[in-house]
Structure 1
Amino acid sequence: MAEEVKNESKKPMTDEERLALCEKMDKELDDFINSLERKRYTEGWAEDKWEEEMDKHPFFMKQTPDNGELSPLAEGLAKLKYDPEENTPLELATNYKEDGNFNFKHKNYRLAILGYTEGIKQKCDDAEINASLYNNRAAAHWHLKNYRSALYDSEKALSFNPSHSKARLRAAKAALEVAKYDTCIGHCQKLLEDKSDKEITELLNSAKKKKLVMERDQRKQARINAKKEEQKDTVIQAIIERGIKLSNCDDEDDIDLSKLEPSLPGAQDAIVNLENGILRWPILLLYPEYQMTDFVRACPENVPLLSQLEQLFPAPWDEENKYSCRTVNVYYEGRDKMPHIVDPLKNLGDLLVMKYFVLKAGTPAFFVLPRGSKVERRFLESYI
């Protein structure tokens, strides 16, 4: 009885007292947590290995483990969702589509493409699913800037669903990116049949303008190519008229500019050309003693070979000053596989029509050696 009286006499807590009590309990909890030993959490996935760890998880693995064994859960999940014996082609295509959509949503576009591709491989008979798979794969290709693939997939989607406006718009945009302007124009015009749209109209106008520019550039390039062909014919005719003999050419009809391209690395653009009726040849000067060469890009046929030597001597590598226009002999290797000495005072054009001279790789080549030297003697003896 006395206890009951005691309980009845206890006063209820005021709001201020409740608030004070809560603050005290919060402080005691904070003090307890702070007193605990701080340890780093080590049970999670390392940042640089999360993909590897996900591949081990039954829900996320993309291939069978190396030992070929799946956990019962993984095996059950795979069979449930991807086993052809447990699913129809439509169900499989839908499952792969969902997998692709998941990766697409997380911007894993390459994985999304793999998912959509597997769905396409099921060859289900549902046109809408097939259209969606191709359209979604086109979207993934678009984000990866694979514009040709995006165009192909968009048009495949349209083959299953011609009214698929998203696929047609993406086809138009992809066609513009790969300079297929007629294709872009066609898709835009088809879209505008249903409704007017500012974006599509601007896309159409852009394709038309770029098509005009492309056609103008093609006409310009055609004129340039025609002029080049005319110049080639003129060069070949000049070589024939001069009686210059070319290696690997059986007769005049066999002469082609491709056989006149210099074989030296980086010298392909130095091919013989005709300027004001004068053939300008690339020439190669070889110095066997030092295994050095000089390459002259355009030597006029009406200029003496000596004039080229005068520009090259004294040579920086000739420390003994053995090479000068007055102290060297110049040779070419003839079609008889023998060395023939030439007079450097003669014009280059006269040297090219000498009895045994044959032009190789469109580049007249001459050996330069110190007159009366051991090097010259060894050079000549090498042909005996």
Structure 2
Amino acid sequence: MENHSAKPKKTSQMTDEERLQLAEKLDKELDEYIAGLERRPYTEGWPEDRWREEMEKHPFFMTKPPEEGQPLSPLLEGIQQLKYDESENTPEELAATYKEDGNFNFKCKKYRVAIISYTEGLRQKCSDDSLNAQLFNNRAAAHFFLKNYRSCLADCRAALKVQPGYPKALSRAAECSFRLSLFDDCIAFCDEMLATSTSNKEALELRAKAVATKKRAEMQARRQAVARRKQEAEEKELAAAIKERNLNIEGQSGPEIKLKLLQPISPHGVQKRVHLSEGRLVWPVILLYPEYETSDYIQEFPEDCRFEDQLTTIFETPPEWDKEGKYRPENLRLWYEDREEKVKFPVNKENTLGETLSDKRIIIRNGTPVFCVEVVGKDRK
């Protein structure tokens, strides 16, 4: 039996014109298909008017860290969870991560946020002493820029305890000690720096400044101590003199004289409290002129001076308010009025102030005796 093999079909090649017609046909069909699709707006992209804001939320494009309390994007939140996951990171890795965060915020001058990051790093209690010392030192630097000098010094001491001789911690500890007027500590830190580098210019200058400032402070403290002892002695002598005269002082109870009861409250009487001068009491005194509703304030009225002498001095030149010129020493009389106790009685102007104040009816209020002056005789209306 004869076997005949089938002959392959001969395929004709497309001409360029046929290929072009086919391409146009396919393009037309595709256009018709696209045109027949349902038109829907694209909502998954970033809005054109807020694309910068959206990029700022993306962890790969943001130019600054999120503000405290600001909600995080899901992507950033996921990265953070992975970054700070205690099950995925060792204490050393977490401490290093928090240190990097702190350094970033420190460079951005967000010192309080940096302190939080360094503190979180220290809470990991990692076994790397060098890393712990850096965290203490960096937190100290953040405290320094916030002028929290005591906290800064405490962190410097902690860094030096973990890593003795830490140069940056020593330098900052010396500076903080100086600013806190802990001059002995400052000198000790400077000496520690100079022990390893005798030509350390910063340490030499700060030490010299601390020594000089300490001497001035000690001298000032000695002067203040001498002045304080002198004041205490004067107040003790004043209290004894007032007690000896047995005066009637408002608010006084018991044998001890309370000098605070003798502090004037009149605006003119500030810093003019009764005092001793050559063994005599010198008082601030107010003279009231009810007729004209005015007054005179005598800053220093010695207890051995007579009222008549004071009135002569006051009215040597007639005051502007005495248009009629009737306020002359010989036409005047004094009286004491206690409005609270409703007591009123005359005062002999020939008596001294001390003799007058010895009258138990006169109460010295706020450390300032007060008397009224009026015209008597033919000139009184």
TM-score over 0.5 for the pair: yes
Contact 1:304/1:348, CA 8 A, preserved across alignment: yes
* Number of the residue aligned with 1:179: 181
Could you say if the C-alpha distance between residues 161 and 299 of structure 1 is closer, same or farther in structure 2, counting changes exceeding 3 Å? farther
* Number of the residue aligned with 1:123: 123
Contact 2:305/2:353, CA 8 A, preserved across alignment: yes
SS in 2 for 1:269: coil
Gaps in structure 2 of 5+ consecutive residues: 1-48
Return the letter of the residue paired with 2:226.
R
Aligned residues: 317
Identity of aligned residues (%): 36
* Number of the residue aligned with 1:22: none
The separation in 2 between residues aligned to 1:129 and 1:283, in whole angstroms, is: 72
**Cα-to-partner distance string for 1:65-124 (whole Å, 9 max, x where unaligned):** 4xxx54323432443445677766655543343233223334x1xx22332234315522
* Number of the residue aligned with 2:4: none
**Cα-to-partner distance string for 1:217-239 (whole Å, 9 max, x where unaligned):** 21121111111111111111111
**Residue 43 of structure 1: how far off its partner (Å):** 7.8
Gaps in structure 1 of 5+ consecutive residues: 1-41, 373-384
More moved, 131-140 vs 233-242: 131-140
Return the letter of the residue paired with 1:139.
A
TM-score normalised by L of structure 1 = 0.69
Return the letter of the residue paired with 1:340.
F
SS in 1 for 2:130: helix
1:196 aligns with 2:195: no
Contact 1:59/1:77, CA 8 A, preserved across alignment: no
Return the letter of the residue paired with 2:107.
K
Contact 2:273/2:283, CA 8 A, preserved across alignment: yes
Could you say if the C-alpha distance between residues 198 and 336 of structure 1 is closer, same or farther in structure 2, counting changes exceeding 3 Å? same
Contact 2:285/2:299, CA 8 A, preserved across alignment: yes
**Residue 310 of structure 1: how far off its partner (Å):** 5.1
SS in 1 for 2:261: helix
* Number of the residue aligned with 1:132: 134
* Number of the residue aligned with 1:19: none
The separation in 2 between residues aligned to 1:351 and 1:178, in whole angstroms, is: 54
**Residue 165 of structure 1: how far off its partner (Å):** 1.8
Could you say if the C-alpha distance between residues 178 and 318 of structure 1 is closer, same or farther in structure 2, counting changes exceeding 3 Å? farther
TM-score normalised by L of structure 2 = 0.69
**Cα-to-partner distance string for 1:185-223 (whole Å, 9 max, x where unaligned):** 121222223331342123222222222222122112111
The separation in 2 between residues aligned to 1:291 and 1:193, in whole angstroms, is: 77
* Number of the residue aligned with 1:95: 97
SS in 1 for 2:271: helix
Question: Out of 56, 64, 68, which is 2:69 matched to?
Answer: 64
**Residue 125 of structure 1: how far off its partner (Å):** 1.4
Contact 1:154/1:171, CA 8 A, preserved across alignment: yes
**Cα-to-partner distance string for 1:156-201 (whole Å, 9 max, x where unaligned):** 3323333212111111112112211111112122222333134212
For 1:95-174, what aligned pairs fall within 5 Å after superposition? 95-106=97-108, 108=109, 111-121=110-120, 123-126=123-126, 127-174=129-176
The separation in 1 between residues aligned to 2:258 and 2:173, in whole angstroms, is: 44
Greater Cα radius of gyration, structure 1 or 2: 2
Could you say if the C-alpha distance between residues 356 and 204 of structure 1 is closer, same or farther in structure 2, counting changes exceeding 3 Å? same
The separation in 1 between residues aligned to 2:293 and 2:87, in whole angstroms, is: 74
The separation in 2 between residues aligned to 1:141 and 1:355, in whole angstroms, is: 63
The separation in 1 between residues aligned to 2:294 and 2:164, in whole angstroms, is: 68
Return the letter of the residue paired with 1:63.
E
SS in 2 for 1:270: coil
Contact 2:264/2:366, CA 8 A, preserved across alignment: yes
Return the letter of the residue paired with 1:360.
R
**Aligned-CA RMSD value:** 3.7
For 1:1-384, what aligned pairs fall within 5 Å after superposition? 60-65=65-70, 70-81=72-83, 90-106=92-108, 108=109, 111-121=110-120, 123-126=123-126, 127-199=129-201, 200-252=203-255, 254-265=256-267, 267-286=269-288, 293-309=295-311, 314-316=318-320, 325=329, 326-327=331-332, 329-333=334-338, 336-368=341-373
